[in-house]
Structure 1
């Protein structure tokens, strides 16, 4: 009887430890987190709290004038870039608590939503244009500015950018 009780207690302890480890992992690692990568990220771009970067819609991060203003500022880029195929290019990046952007990550898919690639010089031009947007407003929580993730997607159709969302 004593052995069965010991086995039950040991099993309970192991299950509790596994649950605690799993919960810790779930609360500290999120899908889509952008960790600093010295090979591609600018070391001068600094976030205020590496442990707490939230989604833009949770904190109210926005660009002055909204997507309409972004489209207006990127109009020249939109009209002169030519692409060889159609698809969607999504830029995910951080707007830090100082209203600066950095840590860009890019996902490209074709019209069937399968991963693809586009001309790298076009991608660099779009990224530089996004970096040059200066009217970002960091989200806030309890009146304190936060670091937030943000996404901008570019729809490519018939070789041209047809939408930014």
Structure 2
């Protein structure tokens, strides 16, 4: 068994981080293949589009007491049923250096991202697929100022 993923960027299951009931279900029965976000579409495939996420985030008023600046990215897999899982968090300061910003704030954004349930399933050539998605939260003075992409 290789210590490297089959595809660069694949997220492997981690029993400490991932829910055991989340399953990959895309093309390839023996080894489900997951597409990267840039392979399947340039559009944002969420019910209500990105604006629905931004509006909900604004209502929840998630912020940090620390006046931090930077980026928090949550990357995850959307399976062929439109369910999300295998969430991973990356944080960068405003100089794009890998620096922990605010663990409690990051956990709030992770929990928010996990609660989003409007991801649309996708097909390629008639086959249901799994695909990677990400949300990057731009942080200015402890507030989310923008959701990317």
Which TM bucket (shorter chain)?
Answer: 0.7 to 0.9
Tell me the TM-score normalized by structure 1. 0.76
Compared CA separation, residues 55 and 83, structure 1 to 2 (3 A): farther
Of 17, 31, 37, 1:40 maps to 17
Output one character per residue of 1:40-92: Cα deviation in whole Å (capped at 9) or x when no partner: 11111111145300012322371012211111122123x34125210000011
Of 11, 22, 40, 1:59 maps to 40
**Matched residues in 2 for 1:109 and 1:83: separation?**
18
Matches within 5 A, 1:121-132: 121-132=104-115
Which of the two has higher C-alpha Rg?
Answer: 1
Compared CA separation, residues 124 and 80, structure 1 to 2 (3 A): closer
Larger helix fraction of residues: 1
State the SS of the aligned residue for 2:116: coil
Matched with 1:30 is 7
For structure 1, list consecutive stretches of 5 or more residues without a partner in the other structure. 1-25
Tell me the TM-score normalized by structure 2. 0.83
C-alpha RMSD of the superposition: 1.9
Matched with 1:120 is 103
**Matched residues in 2 for 1:74 and 1:156: separation?**
13
Compared CA separation, residues 108 and 148, structure 1 to 2 (3 A): same
Deviation at 1:120, TM superposition (A): 2.0
Deviation at 1:118, TM superposition (A): 2.5
For structure 2, list consecutive stretches of 5 or more residues without a partner in the other structure. none
Preserved contact between residue 34 and residue 132 of structure 2 (Cα < 8 Å): yes
State the SS of the aligned residue for 1:74: helix
Preserved contact between residue 41 and residue 102 of structure 1 (Cα < 8 Å): yes
**Matched residues in 2 for 1:158 and 1:83: separation?**
9
